[in-house]
Chains A and B, each alone.
Chain A
Amino acid sequence: MILLFAKFLAVIVAIFVLAKTTHDYKKKKESRIMFLFWYVLWWGVIALTLFPRIIDTIFGQGRSGVNTFMGLVIVFVLYMSYRLYIKAERTEKALQQLVKELAIKMPKE
């Protein structure tokens, strides 16, 4: 029962993200490459949720196949965290620079 609920939740989340990324792409808020990336990724999540045996087919039967898959997921999550960290840091620096420049150029306001 819990497994069924988890599957249902995963599919709902995936559909929500797919709808959001499609909407953002249509509104030109997201690049085509990023749209395709998220599109493939989240369809992959749906496929693996509904047909978990795909993992066995790709990574081999049994526990070692699941472990390999989980290992790859962790690597991917770490990579995404790294990307987000870099992006956040660059944005923070740009913002700091902007705040500093505004303060220095408009001291009388």
Chain B
Amino acid sequence: MKLCVIMPAYNEASVIADVIRQIPKKIMDINNVEVIVVNDNSTDNTSRVAKEAGAVVLNHRLNLGAGGATMTGLEYARRNNFDVAVTMDSDGQHDPSEIKKLVKRVLSGYDLVIGSRLLGSQRHGMPLIKWIGNNAFNVITFLFYGVWVTDSQSGFKAFSKKAMEKCQVESVGYEICSALIGKAKAEHLRICEEPIKIIYTDYSKRKGQHYLNGFNIVIRLALSKIRGSL
């Protein structure tokens, strides 16, 4: 079985090599692990650094956003016949060793596994404002798509082959997180959550999206819902 680890990246040259090197190369029932970095038109050396660290780099000629980069990675995985795909952030806030847990759940029969930073009642070190924002988006995702998850905005997800084929959405920004969950529900895929830890560094906090971007996400979700494109 082939696993594809997809990392959307924008100006992550200073940290991406470490993240790539930490990705486990041996995972039970997986023969081949390929790391795909989708360089979203970075202005630094992200592309070169990622390539030197051993990743296949897909270069966007224009900056599309995190969602667009994720969809490029999933499209690559589909076309190259990967059995499982995992998406994760390239800023180091996800622990690469936890890929195994997500893959295991996919191999046990789930189609979409969401790595949840908030499974359980604790904040796990998440800043209060982010915690409130995430919960607000959980409610919005539920209202729009009828799926309740504890961390709808998590970028750490695993997809089965079926999910890769069915979850094709047109979102390009951060709204992709909710849109993918909605699409999975609409396609009657099996969804589950797996607890993950989150590594907050000064760097990852700086790189995080601005709170006001939340309004953009809601507007984009509403527009895609109106258009029926998810």
Where the two chains meet, the residues of A that have a C-beta atom closer than 8 Å to any C-beta of B are 93, 95-96, 99-100, 102-104, 106-107, 109
Contacts and interface: CB of A to CB of B under 8 A. Distances in A.
Interface of B: 38, 56-62, 64, 68, 71-72, 75-76, 79, 170, 172
Contacts of B68: 96, 99-100
B230 to A, nearest CB: 14
A105 to B, nearest CB: 9
Q: Is the interface of B mostly helix, strand, loop or mixed?
A: mixed
Sorted from nearest, which 7 A-B pairs have the closest CB atoms?
A103-B58, A100-B72, A99-B62, A107-B58, A99-B60, A104-B76, A103-B72
A100 B59 contact: no
A107 B34 CA distance: 13
A93 to B, nearest CB: 7
A82 B57 CA distance: 38
Contacts of A106: 59
A90 B52 CA distance: 37
Contacts of B59: 103, 106-107, 109
A49 B181 CA distance: 54
28 contacts: A95-B62, A96-B68, A96-B170, A99-B60, A99-B61, A99-B62, A99-B64, A99-B68, A100-B60, A100-B64, A100-B68, A100-B71, A102-B61, A103-B38, A103-B58, A103-B59, A103-B60, A103-B61, A103-B72, A104-B58, A104-B75, A104-B76, A104-B79, A107-B56, A107-B58, A107-B59, A107-B76, A109-B59
A103 B38 CA distance: 8
B57 A96 contact: no
A107 B47 CA distance: 10
Residue from the set A93, A100, A109 with the largest chain B CB neighbour count within 10 Å: A100
Given A99-B61, A107-B58, A93 B75 contact: no
